[in-house]
Amino acid sequence: MKKSNDRSRRSGVKRRDFLKLAGGSLAASGIAAIPTISRAAETINIGALYPTTGSMAQIGVGCVAAAKLAVDMVNEAGGIKSMGGAKLNLVISDVQSDTTVTRTETDRLINGNKLSAIHGCYASALTMIASEVCERAKVPLITGSSSDQLNKGRHYTFTPFARASQFAQAQLRMSKLVSDKPKVAVIFENTAFGTSTSNGLKELSAGEGVEIVMFEPYSAGFTDASPLINKVKASGANTLFSLSYLNDLILIVRTVRQVGLNIAINGGSGGFVMPDFYKNVGKAAEGLQGVAHWNHDINADSQKVNAEFKKRTGEFAFEYAGGLVAQTFMLADALERAASPDPKKVREALSTLDVSSGYAAMAPGGKVKFGPDGKNIYGRPVGVQWQNTDLVSIFPKEDARAPLLKI
C-alpha cells in the first residue's frame, strides 16, 4: 500500500503546470494543428444536467465540481483556438433526481440557451429521458451512463465508456479471483442501471463458468436490507454482486456485516466507487471489489486530474468525475475540428472522434473512437478494489496498478 500512497504523492502537480499540461493535451489530440481564425472569440455554451438535490445528489454534486474543473482546464489552456480562443461556458441545471424534472429541465436548458452540446446525467434512468429530448432537438449528449439501451435508435447520444453488459462480464470474471467455483447471489435495484446490468450477468454467467444461485430485484431507496441479506445467506452463495447506488449499497454492506455473513462482495459501479462509501462503512470496505468505467490511477493524466480535483473537493476523483473531465476534452476536440458552435456540426465532429493521447483519451485502454451507434469501440471497464482507504485498479492484468488484496 505504501507504493500506492507514494504514487498518489508523486501525482501532485502545481496548478500552473497542470494547466500547461492541459494545453499540451489539446495539442496532442491534434487540436493545435487547426489554424486559428482571426475573429472575435465567442462563448460556447455547454449544458450540464445533474441531480444536485434529491436521492442522487451525492454523486451529482461531485459531477458538477468535476464539470467546473474541466471547463477551467480547457479555458485556461487557451479555449477553442479554431474559434479565436472561444471559452466554454457551463450552463448547469439541477434535475432533482427525478425523471419528470429531468425532461422539463432538459427542454428548458435547450430552449433557453444556445447550446453546442450537453453532458449528463450519470444516472441511467435520468439520462434515458435527457437523451430522448436531445435527440428530438438535435443537440449532442455525451454521457458516462452505462445502460446499453441509451444508444438504441439514437444519433445524438455518445457513450465513451464501458456499457452495462461489459460491467457484468468484468464482474463475472473477477469472481474467479475469489473462488475457482463461483456461486453468485445477484441483488439489484429495479432501475435502468440495476436491471440492465443484472440482465447482462444472467445472460453471460453460463459462458463465463459462473453459477448464479440467487437473482433478486429490490426497490431502490429501501430502509431495511435484512430480508434481502437473509435470502443471500440461505442461497449458499460465496460471492455477492450488489448493483446499487450509494445509500442502498451502504445499507447492504452494513447489514452483511451485522448478520455475520462471510461472503466476498463485488459492489459493481454506482455507489461503490464513491469516496462517501468508504466514509460510511469504514474498514468494512477494505478488500471489497467493484468495477468502474474510469479510475483515478489508470494513467498519468488521470493522476494529474485527481490531484487537482482533490485540491478543490478534498476527495479523490471518482469515476463519473474523472470521466466528465475526459468528456469535456472530447467536446473540446470536436469543437476544434467543427470550428463552429452549431450543435449539428459538433455532433458530426464527435462522430469522427478518434483519440489515443491526452485528456480526451483518458479512459481504460487509452483510446476513444465512436462507432455508428455512438459507443466507444474501445470502451471497457476496469476492476477496482478498496485498499488502505483508496480505490485502486486491479483487473484486468493490463490495467492493474496494484496487486489483488486477498481477504
297-328 tens-digit pLDDT = 999 999 999 999 999 999 999 999 999 999 99
pLDDT value of residue 247:
87
Domains 11-162+296-376 and 164-292+383-399 share a fold: yes
Q: What is the pTM of this model?
A: 0.85
Mean pLDDT of the residues in the chain: 90
Give exposure, 59-84, as e/b (b: 16+ Cβ within 10 Å): bbbbbbbbbbbbbbbbbbbbbbbbbe
Q: Give residue-wise pLDDT tens across range 246-278.
A: 889 999 999 999 999 999 999 888 788 889 899
User: Which candidate, 125, 192, 135, 126, places its Cα nearest to that of 158?
Assistant: 135
- Strands 183-189 and 239-243, bridge-based pairing: parallel
46-99 confidence digits (pLDDT tens): 999 999 999 889 889 999 999 999 999 999 999 999 999 999 999 999 999 999
For residue 37, pLDDT beyond 50: no
Domain boundaries along the sequence of the chain: 11-162+296-376, 164-292+383-399
CATH number (3.30.230.10, 3.40.50.1100, 2.20.28.10, 3.40.50.2300) of 164-292+383-399 reads 3.40.50.2300
For 11-162+296-376, CATH gives 3.40.50.2300
285-297 per-position pLDDT tens digit:
999 999 999 999 9
> Where is pLDDT greater, at 407 or 350?
350
Residue 345 has pLDDT above 90, yes or no: yes
Euclidean distance between CA atoms 163 and 169, whole angstroms: 10
